[in-house]
Chains A and B, each alone.
Chain A
Amino acid sequence: MAMVIENRIWDAAETLSRQNLERLQLDRLRECVARVAHVPFYQEAFAKTGVTPGNIKSLDDLRRLPFTTKADLRDHYPLGFLAVPREKVARYHGSSGTTGKPTFVAYTQNDLGLWADLCARFLVAGGLRPEHTVHIAFGYGLFTGGFGLHYGVERVGAAILPAASGNTPRQIMLLEDMQSDVLVCTPSYALNIAEVAREQGVDPTSLSLKFAHFGGEPWTEDMRIQIERELGLFAFNNYGLSEVIGPGVSGECAARAGMHIQEDHFIVECIDPDTLEPVGPYEYGELVFTAITKEAMPIIRYRTRDIAALDVCPCECGRTTVRMSRVKGRTDDMLIIRGANVFPSQIEEALLRVEGAAPHYLIEIDRPEALDEVTVKVEVISEIFSDRMSEMQALRDRIDREIQAVTGIRVKVDLVASQSLERSVGKAKRVMDRRKLGDG
């Protein structure tokens, strides 16, 4: 795989020998275990298995530590996993969960500095230089995407145009007028920008964009080719999740042959989600991360539910870190809609708030052009049927509002005839995802 741009490495830690890297990981793991020892969840788990920082002798001892799941975080809502006093916290972020409440994560000032560095690493690996202007079209809010990339770009010393998300025509005007070199957003939003630009009579390849850094949702090589052709740039993939730190867990280098995991800060495992046993290199499994250097909320063996494979061969870029493949799926039913995490159970929860709306529904997801579209079909049973059109429209609007309130995303609500949705024996089929993301 040829390098598409000049190879530059931000931090010497990315090229540590495997031996030194693993020694560093072990030291940091011990420190991490000591830091979380008073977090009730870990205290209890460590007591059961007799784990102490002192008896972590090798990285293999990681397997004696408990897994942490999204459900564990939810059970200790909002801040039961906090490992420092609240006055040490500098920032909170959050991601959506299976219920209407977010999962909160916390950062100390040091954590924010680390996060900026980790984002700087993949940004530089993917072509960012101090003289560039970066257009960030991620939401700035509880979502980690906007702020994480923002601080990474700042750390590199490039200029930021914090356009935030939404209002695509305005984004195109900013891109044209400000001549940004780098685009940061979700890959599907990049395609939307190209499409809207063409509608406005702007040739998207005429924009001055040279590079793009995409994350926040799964995408494919086909999409990369399409985006690069339509916008005339080089696109790089990065990966992260708020529970681990946000963006910056891994990212592509100039070789674009997998995303380098920042192993001096995150120990990765790839497991069989059923047996919980490790799978071999190059085999697909569920990624599990231990954030060994975070202060506010270090997390032990976090089960991401993301399915990917690890490549342990040395990379031509000189980094010694393991690379992960694209995420090819999930072990749970979480959906990523326009970069936002949505669980079918959230939509059900919203429907339950509208009396009579819940029993028979179907969530359909399409990507007709660039952006995901969600249609929630709800069967009209006699409890919710009215001979008045105004009431039927009010019903549809109410379902629409409730879904938006719980999930944060806009969907199209279709009222359909009773018994028109397919009934299956046992567990009803609630989701039909027609997006094509199959090639991993």
Chain B
Amino acid sequence: MKLTQLSLFLENKPAHLRKPCSVLAQAGINILTLSLADTQQFGILRLIVRDWEKAKKALEEAGCVVKTTEVVAVEVDDKPGGLDELLGHIEKASLNIEYMYAFTFGREDKAIMIFRFEDPDVAVAALQTQGVNVVGSVELYDRSQR
């Protein structure tokens, strides 16, 4: 029920974001979603792609430092209060969010958020106990096709 996220180190300089994107473009890999954390001097690019192994290999061959991390995709009602309700469940489960970002696609009235927790397995179990819909990779990639 976990997703594998790729993260890359970037310097905060012109053209540094484009390089990994060009590498993925040439490898024919579509980015499902991404987030960019930045400081004045450097940034961390986090990516969700379907074939992460192929993407990692292509990026590493191009000289990028790539790290894989397990993250959790969670469905959330795409309406006012939807995220608030989900965060309530997370709070109840005493989970600390390291960071989070959203997907660009949803389904009808549902959106999907990506969460990075300290222990993704504990998080998945705790969220499912509270009836939160944790979206697995196959389902997610399937939805991204529609």
Contact = CB atoms under 8 A, between A and B. Distances in A.
- Chain B contact-residue range equals 20 to 34
Interface string A275-309: 00000000000000000000000000000000000
Contacts, number: 52
Contact of B7 (A387, A417, A418): A387
Q: Please provide the 3 A-B residue pairs with the shortest distance between their CB atoms, ordered closest to farther.
A: A387-B7, A380-B9, A418-B65
A392 interface: yes
A52 interface: no
Interface of A: 380-382, 385-389, 392-393, 414-420
Contacts of B44: 386-389, 392
Interface in B1-56: 5, 7, 9-11, 16, 37, 39, 41-42, 44, 46
Contacts of B9: 380, 385, 392, 415, 417-418
B69 interface: yes
Nearest to B118: A388
Contact of A387 (B5, B11, B16, B42): B5
Contact of B64 (A389, A416, A418): A418
Given A416-B11, A418-B9, A382 B67 contact: yes
Contacts of B42: 380, 392, 415-416
A385 B11 contact: no
Contact of B37 (A381, A389, A417): A389
Contact of B65 (A380, A389, A393, A414): A380
A256 to B, nearest CB: 44
Contacts of A380: 9, 42, 65
Nearest to B6: A387
B63 A387 contact: no
A388 B69 CA distance: 10
A380 B39 CA distance: 15
Given A388-B99, A389-B39, A389-B44, A382 B66 contact: yes
Contacts of B116: 387-388
